[in-house]
Amino acid sequence: MKQDLIQVTSTASAGTSTHRATGALVASVRDLSVHFDTKAGSVHAVDGVSFDIRDGETLGLVGETGCGKSVTARSFLRLVATPPGIYAGGRIDFWSSEAQEAGGGPVNLLTIADDEMLEIRGNRIAMIFQDPSKALNPALSIGDQLAEVFFQHRSNELLAPLGPNVPMIVRRAARQESGQFERIVLQLPPLRSKAAKMRAQVDDLVAGALAETQIPNPRRIMASYPHELSGGMKQRVLIAQALACNPDLLIADEPTTALDVTIQARILNLIAELQQRLGTSVLYISHDLSLVREICDRVAVMYAGRIVETGRTVDLFRQPLHPYTRSLMSAIPSSTSERGRLAAIAGTVPELIDPQPSCRFHSRCPYALEVCREVDPRFLRHDVDHGVACHGHDDPTDLGLRPGDVPTLEPAIQ
């Protein structure tokens, strides 16, 4: 996240170093395809998507509704329901900080064993979901749900107030590893007071995590159940939960859409603090291009299940290459107008059921020619860090065409 554009508050804890070399990859998505079997046919929601997320960076993923952003995000944690979903191809390589430090390679998140995925989920990769109501357990109080994060990921902090020489049985309790007999022993003297102190410490940490999101009256919220909270409050609980994990990668799917602007600023600061403290990488999904421009280091533009352009934010906004990206950019309001979302672009996103080879934007593209209706454009690099999938930027001879046969794009808007 671009630190210079967000005033980071002073609460970030110091001491933890960033863990990977600058520019190293934290995740690499290659040819990811996720389809859905429906009565009408196979919906190619994500179709051959490739992009990288680098260590410590914020990558923005933008595109119109239904273009596959959430399905892509959920694939990192294998949270697409199968069936009807099918992981139809590709891989998502992930380098955890531990693997990096041990000199290990990446794991493919699509093929690792379920218990390995459980270790990564919420621990090395945390996600703030677009729909908070589906992400919280309705049967557990908010306090208990958040406490689990600290038990699972930050047990050392729970033991700190107990001083040195903490008995093993208490250590196991802090990691939620106690058996039934151990739980009984912990309720009896002399361990009862230590167990109570640890529980008080958990409650303090949970209340602190909630307070960071500026949720009013955290102690009351901790005693509440999800159905008792508004959408915005649930979203803040999820944000507190995700940030408390100290993840290597945070996937934020429209995390602040339900929140007002002042809370949004606070949440963005919290994410920026996390990045400063741990070097966390962020995949930030948003409809709000002016926000993406402010906070993202690089941007990937998605259309109808495909990535159509990627680049450094500064390059992409200075010179968008893909006609779709240009349409999105032209919708950004000026400094004198109200912050806006993606403006309507003439036409609609095409049907994703059993798509034929073609540029998927051709029915809406002012530059479309015959070749665009018949041939999938390849994703080509036009600069070190700027790539686009559009025949207008191809070398025409690669397609067996004369130079005049392909559309020449007008200079990009500034």
Ligand X SMILES: Nc1ncnc2c1ncn2[C@@H]1O[C@H](COP(=O)(O)OP(=O)(O)OP(=O)(O)O)[C@@H](O)[C@H]1O
User: Which CA distances in Å does 7 have to 241, 257, 262, 290?
Assistant: 23, 20, 13, 17
Output the smallest distance, CB 299 to ligand SF4, in A: 17
Distance in angstroms (rounded) separating the CA atoms of residues 19 and 97: 6
Stretch touching ligand SF4 by CB under 6 A, among 34-42, 48-56, 345-353, 366-374: 366-374
Q: Which does 65 bind (CB under 5 to 8 A by kind): ligand SF4, ligand X, Mg ion, none?
A: ligand X
Q: Is 38 in the site for ligand X (CB under 6 A)?
A: yes
Q: Which does 45 bind (CB under 5 to 8 A by kind): ligand SF4, Mg ion, ligand X, none?
A: ligand X
Q: Which does 388 bind (CB under 5 to 8 A by kind): ligand SF4, Mg ion, ligand X, none?
A: none
Q: Is 392 in the site for ligand SF4 (CB under 6 A)?
A: yes
Distance in angstroms (rounded) separating the CA atoms of residues 299 and 285: 10
Distance in angstroms (rounded) separating the CA atoms of residues 3 and 73: 24
Looking at the chain, the number of H-run helices and the number of E-run strands are: 16, 12
H or E element in which residue 315 lies: helix 313-318
Q: Which string of DSSP letters, residue by residue, matches 359-405?
A: -TTGGG-TT--HHHHHSPPPEEEEETTEEEE-GGGS-GGGGT--GGG
Largest CA distance in the chain: 87
Are the CB atoms for 125 and 249 separated by under 8 Å? Answer: yes
Output the smallest distance, CB 404 to ligand X, in A: 36
Q: Is 274 in the site for ligand X (CB under 6 A)?
A: no
Output the smallest distance, CB 382 to ligand SF4, in A: 13
> How many residues are there in the chain?
414
Distance in angstroms (rounded) separating the CA atoms of residues 132 and 40: 30
Q: Which does 68 bind (CB under 5 to 8 A by kind): ligand X, Mg ion, ligand SF4, none?
A: ligand X
Q: Is 368 in the site for ligand SF4 (CB under 6 A)?
A: yes
Q: Which does 97 bind (CB under 5 to 8 A by kind): Mg ion, ligand X, ligand SF4, none?
A: none
Output the smallest distance, CB 14 to ligand X, in A: 36
**What is the torsional sign of CA 266, 267, 270, 271?**
negative
CA-CA-CA-CA dihedral for 23, 27, 33, 34, to nearest 10:
-140
Indicate the residue among 41 and 396 with the shorter CB distance to ligand X.
41
Size of the site for Mg ion (CB under 5 A): 3
- The interaxial angle of helices 142-153 and 231-244, nearest 10 deg, is 10
Q: Which does 361 bind (CB under 5 to 8 A by kind): Mg ion, ligand SF4, ligand X, none?
A: ligand SF4
Q: Which does 359 bind (CB under 5 to 8 A by kind): ligand SF4, Mg ion, ligand X, none?
A: ligand SF4
With H, G, I as helix, E, B as strand and everything else as coil, classify residue 328. Answer: helix
> Which residue, among 241, 62, 258, has the nearest Cα to 135 in the 3D structure?
241
Q: Is 70 in the site for Mg ion (CB under 5 A)?
A: yes
Q: Which does 38 bind (CB under 5 to 8 A by kind): ligand X, Mg ion, ligand SF4, none?
A: ligand X
Cβ neighbourhood burial of 40 (10 Å; 0-12, 13-18, 19+): exposed
Indicate the residue among 132 and 355 with the shorter CB distance to ligand SF4.
355
Among 323, 336, 344, 408, binds ligand SF4 (CB under 6 A): 323
Residue for token pair 């893909």: 322
Q: Is 372 in the site for ligand SF4 (CB under 6 A)?
A: yes
Output the smallest distance, CB 180 to ligand X, in A: 40
With H, G, I as helix, E, B as strand and everything else as coil, classify residue 311. Answer: strand
User: Which CA distances in Å does 96 have to 104, 124, 261?
Assistant: 9, 7, 33
Stretch touching ligand SF4 by CB under 6 A, among 3-11, 48-56, 100-108, 354-362: 354-362
Binding mask of the shown chain, residues 80 to 119, with x at each position contacting ligand X by CB under 6 A: ----x-----------------------------------
Residues 128-187 that bind Mg ion (CB under 5 A): 130
With H, G, I as helix, E, B as strand and everything else as coil, classify residue 33. Answer: strand
Q: Is 85 in the site for ligand SF4 (CB under 6 A)?
A: no
Binding mask of the shown chain, residues 91 to 130, with x at each position contacting Mg ion by CB under 5 A: ---------------------------------------x
Binding site for ligand SF4 (CB under 6 A): 322-323, 359, 361-362, 365, 367-368, 372, 377, 390-392, 407
